[in-house]
Structure 1
Amino acid sequence: MPRYEYRCRSCGDVFELSRPMAESGDPANCPSGHDDTVKLLSTVAVGGSASAHAPRAGGGCCGGGCCG
């Protein structure tokens, strides 16, 4: 289940909630009980390494001169 980050406008606390995507925009109460919250825009970090490299411009067959 996705986690969404919210910030309380009353106290400034930032907190996360796990909820279905369909409920991501629903109102959320902060842990202190305030209901004036806003959903924050989250960035997604994808880790790992690429084992294949992107082709270079003009490279490859018929673009790099291997076809006669």
Structure 2
Amino acid sequence: MPRYEYRCRACGATFELRRPMAQSAAPAPCPAGHDDTVKLLSTVSVGGTARGGDAPAPSGGGGGCCGGACGCG
């Protein structure tokens, strides 16, 4: 089940709730009991590399027809 982050407009607290996607826009009272909250926009960050430490660097050449294999152009 996804987690959604909310911010309370009354006290400024931020909090997370786990709920089904269908309920993501449903009202979410803050832990202090205030009802004036907004759902925050979440971002996903993916880091790292696709190659291992000893893997060879990818070589050039895109292949495909216009990559020189069929004589187009």
Query: Partner residue of 2:49?
Result: 49
Pairing 1:64–2:31 present:
no
Where structure 1 has 5 or more consecutive residues not aligned to the other structure, the ranges are none
Residues 7-46 of structure 1, C-alpha deviations (whole Å, 9 max, x = no match): 0000000110000000000000101111100001111123
Query: Taking structure 1 as the reference length, what is the TM-score of the superposition?
Result: 0.75
RCO higher in structure (CA 8 A, sep ≥6): 1
Aligned length, in residue pairs? 63
Q: What value does the CA root-mean-square deviation take over the aligned residues?
A: 2.2
Query: Partner residue of 2:21?
Result: 21
Query: Percent identity, aligned pairs only?
Result: 75
Query: Partner residue of 1:32?
Result: 32
Where structure 2 has 5 or more consecutive residues not aligned to the other structure, the ranges are 52-59
Query: Taking structure 2 as the reference length, what is the TM-score of the superposition?
Result: 0.71
